[in-house]
Chain A
Amino acid sequence: QITLKESGPTLVKPTQTLTLTCTFSGFSLSTSGVGVNWIRQTPGKALEWLGIIYWDDDKRYSPSLKNRLNITKDTSKNQVVLTMTNMGPVDTGTYYCAHRGIVTVFGIVIQGGWFDPWGPGTLVTVSS
């Protein structure tokens, strides 16, 4: 069974850097094809994909936030870390990590761009 859980500060001040950790179990980030995504849900933009880190340390980021984001992994600890710089009030919301979708068809493993499962999320408020 795959599970993920986000952790980190609930309150950050404007201009500060946010660091969130996703701790997971039930899979290894050293297995070919595996990826962990970060997604957030804010009142202004609903659900927004932030980025993904793959088993081979390749990373992809949302173009609109690329300059502020960094995603790293610690395979030995089963953790993925998201850092987001220069936080502002519009960044207030719930941050989720989610496993890259995977399905097995006739014994063949197919990785997809959907998200399954998700962690429970962590609410981050940006305020002075």
Chain B
Amino acid sequence: EIVLTQSPGTLSLSPGDRATLSCRANESVSRSQLAWYQQKPGQAPRLLIYGASSRATGIPDRFTGSGSATDFTLTISRLEPEDFAVYHCQQYDYSPMTFGQGTRLEIK
């Protein structure tokens, strides 16, 4: 199965900062079949990005997904207080679908 490695494990930033989160696959994820989710404490994950770069309905444009093959990035251009959460990447190119271990974005 495809293993996704997210880095860093924890990212400490301030509101207004730019956040860059990485997701690397041990094999090429074809057709950019990668998604990003945001998860807040006590809540289910929420879809942010699919197809590596397409924003889901209602997601602000400060969230940008990019990358291809084995290297993918989620960028949050200007952090808002509500953006501090855990972010997960997921590939759906191969079965079984797999997730990264998550990046915790915390307030510095």
Interface residues of B in 55-108 (CB under 8 A from A): 56, 88, 90, 92-93, 95-102
In the bound complex, how far is the Cα of B36 from the Cα of A101, in angstroms?
Answer: 12
Task: Verify if A93 is at the interface (C-beta below 8 Å from B).
Answer: no
Residues of A contacting B102 in the complex (Cβ-Cβ under 8 angstroms): 46-47
Interface residues in chain A, defined as those with a beta carbon under 8 Å from any beta carbon in chain B = 46-49, 60, 62-64, 96, 98, 101, 103, 112-121
Say whether B35 contacts A47, CB under 8 Å. no
The minimal Cβ–Cβ distance linking B74 to chain A, given in whole angstroms, is 14
Provided the pairs A46-B102, A47-B99, A49-B99 are in contact, do residues A112 and B44 lie with their beta carbons within 8 angstroms?
no
Task: Verify if B19 is at the interface (C-beta below 8 Å from A).
Answer: no
Interface residues in chain B, defined as those with a beta carbon under 8 Å from any beta carbon in chain A = 1, 33, 35, 37, 43-47, 50-51, 54, 56, 88, 90, 92-93, 95-102
In the bound complex, how far is the Cα of B43 from the Cα of A42, in angstroms?
Answer: 14
Residues of A contacting B35 in the complex (Cβ-Cβ under 8 angstroms): 101, 113-115
Q: Contacting B47 at CB < 8 Å: which of A96, A117, A119, A121?
A: A117
Residues of B contacting A118 in the complex (Cβ-Cβ under 8 angstroms): 44-46
Provided the pairs A120-B43, A120-B44 are in contact, do residues A101 and B50 lie with their beta carbons within 8 angstroms?
yes
Say whether B50 contacts A119, CB under 8 Å. no
Say whether A114 contacts B92, CB under 8 Å. yes
Say whether B92 contacts A112, CB under 8 Å. yes
In the bound complex, how far is the Cα of B91 from the Cα of A49, in angstroms?
Answer: 11
In the bound complex, how far is the Cα of B90 from the Cα of A119, in angstroms?
Answer: 17
List 8 A-B residue pairs with CB atoms under 8 Å apart, sorted by A's residue number. A46-B100, A46-B101, A47-B99, A49-B98, A112-B50, A114-B50, A119-B44, A120-B43
In the bound complex, how far is the Cα of B50 from the Cα of A85, in angstroms?
Answer: 33
The minimal Cβ–Cβ distance linking A65 to chain B, given in whole angstroms, is 9
In the bound complex, how far is the Cα of B97 from the Cα of A73, in angstroms?
Answer: 21
In the bound complex, how far is the Cα of B43 from the Cα of A45, in angstroms?
Answer: 18
Residues of A contacting B96 in the complex (Cβ-Cβ under 8 angstroms): 49, 62-64
Residues of B contacting A64 in the complex (Cβ-Cβ under 8 angstroms): 96
Say whether A113 contacts B92, CB under 8 Å. yes
In the bound complex, how far is the Cα of B93 from the Cα of A98, in angstroms?
Answer: 18
- 4 smallest beta-carbon distances between A and B, as pairs: A113-B92, A118-B44, A114-B35, A47-B99
